[in-house]
């Protein structure tokens, strides 16, 4: 019964947001509460929800101060030279802009953190999309494809989880996957080329002498023409650049927790650029709507994840997937693992899949001669789709920055993400990362 309710809850949630019956914010709150009541957990909902919110609180704090930090950098003009450089390189050609978005997103996603990757990429590229009238759904799609692929690095969450769950070296999982990541990067460029040509057919190639003033995703505007707005600090350009480099270095080295890094970075950036108290208040108020839109979704997601875990629905779904694998399918365990990872890293959290289901699949595979490393690599195929899950907090940041509806983003991106998973599956089989048959 609990398993049926678990699948029904996820299905109802997906239908409501993908058909625009409810916003993601409302669905994340109302749907799990309703199903928890149906399952007879009315008296425990409060504790479950608070546990879920506590688990996502660090992510909420990170996104709050990261948005404020990059908003301050936009106000001070750090990204104006970036916009000018990109504009000179891509001109007004939508194909070059979308393909450039994939390249930039792949580079900045090397840090293994989707949230900062989304912030940096959208801050640099979305002004161009808005200036040309290109669809922000296109940007959200290709950025997510790039981030989902680069998230497979050893310092990324999925690979680290799989290695920990199976007690194998993370590099042993990662190195054989490099050819598959190259293939997925090539596929992302192909998707960018296709979507870019669609945009070119729709709006043409623009002749842009300058970017003018266009809205930035974290608030404020990006400029390439004079006169500069009063909040610009061109004399502090290199100071702000140096501060951002130090912040990114701290992020990569892990010297402090990410939320604290961005809290400190925001405080230092604001004090340097806007020492006047009244100006500080104006800058924070200018970015408050962006912060509220994203952080409210993060904590609403805590309701969903808290009830999903607290009611035992996650465990019920895990048992259901392992029960459907017959003994006669032993030689196909890597293939089954790869295929199962696609829906299950979408429907449940990475922690639940990699620590709950993967060890069982690996044990089943070992009985048929499959090494733990092969099963672990196969389990990462689903990461090409995982970032579209409503359980992934950073996805709400991306759709918020791009100002697109969550359901619309899923409908637009899901077919391409599924194709990317198939590319990784086939490439992995061809290069021997895991056996398919």
CA distance 190 to 193: 5
Q: Which of 27-41, 327-341, 362-376 has the highest mean pLDDT?
A: 27-41
> Of 169, 166, 225, which Cα lies nearest the Cα of 365?
166
Q: What is the rounded (10 degree) CA torsion for 265, 268, 270, 271?
A: 170
How does DSSP classify residue 222? E
Query: Which residues make beta-bridge pairs with 101?
Result: none
Q: What percent of the chain has pLDDT over 90?
A: 16
Q: pTM score > 0.75 for this model?
A: no
Rg (CA), the chain: 22
Q: What is the rounded (10 degree) CA torsion for 251, 252, 255, 258?
A: 30
Q: Is the pLDDT of residue 422 over 90?
A: yes
Q: Is the pLDDT of residue 145 over 70?
A: yes
Instruction: Output the six-digit token pair for 208.
Output: 């842009």
Q: Sorting pLDDT into bands at 50, 70 and 90, what band is 224?
A: very low
Contact 149, 419 (CB under 8 A): no
DSSP states of 49-60: HHHHHHHHHHHH
Q: What percent of the chain has pLDDT over 70?
A: 84
Mean pLDDT of 270-289: 87
CA distance 94 to 81: 20
- The residue ranking higher by pLDDT, 77 or 356, is 77
Q: Which pLDDT score, from 0 to 100, does residue 297 have?
A: 74
Q: Is the pLDDT of residue 255 over 50?
A: yes
Give me the helices (H) in 151-276, please: 157-166, 170-174, 178-203, 237-253, 258-273
Q: Is the pLDDT of residue 268 over 90?
A: yes
Instruction: Output the six-digit token pair for 9.
Output: 């809850």
Give pLDDT tens digits for 231-253.
788 888 889 889 988 887 887 67
Instruction: Output the six-digit token pair for 339.
Output: 């295929």
Give pLDDT tens digits for 4-38.
888 788 788 777 876 778 877 888 889 889 988 88
How does DSSP classify residue 354? I
Q: Which pLDDT score, from 0 to 100, does residue 318 have?
A: 64
Is 95 strand, coil or helix? Answer: helix
> Of 10, 14, 38, 44, which Cα lies nearest the Cα of 310?
44
Q: Is the pLDDT of residue 333 over 90?
A: no
Residue 294 CA, distance from chain mean position: 13
Mean pLDDT of 212-240: 66
Q: Is the pLDDT of residue 187 over 90?
A: yes
CA distance 55 to 146: 26
Residue 161 CA, distance from chain mean position: 17
Cα 10 to Cα 182, 246, 344: the distances in Å are 33, 41, 11
Q: Is the pLDDT of residue 368 over 90?
A: no
Cis peptide, bond prior to residue 281, ω within 30 of zero: no
Q: Is the pLDDT of residue 211 over 70?
A: no
Q: Sorting pLDDT into bands at 50, 70 and 90, what band is 143?
A: very high
- The residue ranking higher by pLDDT, 165 or 336, is 336
CA distance 169 to 382: 20
Q: Which of 121-130, 297-306, 412-421 has the highest mean pLDDT?
A: 412-421
DSSP states of 253-313: HTSS-HHHHHHHHHHHHHHHH--SHHHHHHHHHHHHHHHHHHHHHHHHHHHHHHHHHHTTH
Mean pLDDT of 361-380: 81
Q: Which pLDDT score, from 0 to 100, does residue 105 have?
A: 85
Q: Which pLDDT score, from 0 to 100, does residue 219 have?
A: 54
């Amino acid at each position: 019964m609990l398993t049926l309710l678990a699948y029904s809850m996820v299905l109802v949630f997906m239908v409501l947001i993908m058909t625009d019956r409810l916003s993601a914010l409302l669905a994340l709150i109302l749907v799990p509460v309703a199903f928890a009541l149906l399952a007879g957990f009315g008296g425990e909902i409060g504790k479950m929800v608070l546990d879920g919110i506590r688990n996502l609180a660090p992510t909420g704090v990170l996104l709050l101060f990261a948005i404020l930090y990059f908003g301050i950098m936009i106000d001070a003009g750090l990204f104006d030279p970036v916009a000018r450089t990109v504009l000179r390189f891509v001109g007004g050609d939508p194909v070059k802009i979308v393909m450039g978005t994939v390249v930039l997103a792949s580079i900045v996603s090397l840090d293994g953190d989707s949230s900062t990757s989304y912030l940096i990429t959208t801050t640099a590229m979305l002004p161009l999309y808005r200036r040309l009238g290109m669809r922000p759904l296109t940007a959200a799609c290709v950025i997510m494809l790039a981030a989902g692929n680069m998230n497979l690095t050893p310092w990324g969450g999925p690979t680290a989880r799989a290695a920990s769950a199976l007690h194998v070296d993370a590099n042993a999982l990662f190195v054989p996957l490099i050819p598959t990541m190259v293939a997925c990067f090539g596929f992302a460029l192909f998707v960018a080329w296709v979507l870019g040509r669609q945009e070119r057919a729709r709006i043409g190639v623009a002749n842009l002498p300058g970017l003018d003033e266009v809205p930035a995703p974290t608030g404020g505007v990006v400029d390439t023409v004079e006169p500069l707005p009063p909040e610009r600090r061109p004399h502090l350009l290199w100071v702000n650049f140096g501060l951002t480099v130090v912040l990114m270095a701290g992020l990569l080295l892990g010297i402090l927790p990410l939320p604290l890094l961005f809290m400190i970075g925001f405080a230092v950036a604001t004090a340097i650029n806007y020492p006047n108290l009244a100006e500080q208040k104006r800058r924070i108020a200018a970015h408050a709507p962006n912060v509220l839109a994203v952080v409210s979704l993060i904590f609403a997601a805590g309701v969903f994840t808290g009830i999903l875990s607290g009611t035992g629905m996650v465990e019920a779904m895990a048992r259901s997937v392992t029960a459907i694998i017959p003994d006669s399918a032993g030689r196909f365990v890597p293939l089954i693992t790869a295929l199962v990872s696609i829906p299950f890293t979408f429907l449940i959290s990475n922690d639940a899949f990699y620590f709950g289901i993967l060890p069982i699949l690996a044990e089943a595979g070992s009985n048929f001669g499959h090494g733990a490393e092969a099963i672990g690599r196969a389990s990462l195929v689903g990461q090409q789709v995982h970032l579209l899950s409503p359980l992934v907090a950073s996805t709400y940041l991306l759709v918020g920055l791009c100002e697109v509806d969550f359901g619309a983003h899923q409908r637009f991106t899901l077919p391409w993400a599924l194709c990317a998973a198939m590319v990784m599956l086939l490439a992995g089989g061809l290069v021997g990362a895991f056996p398919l048959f």
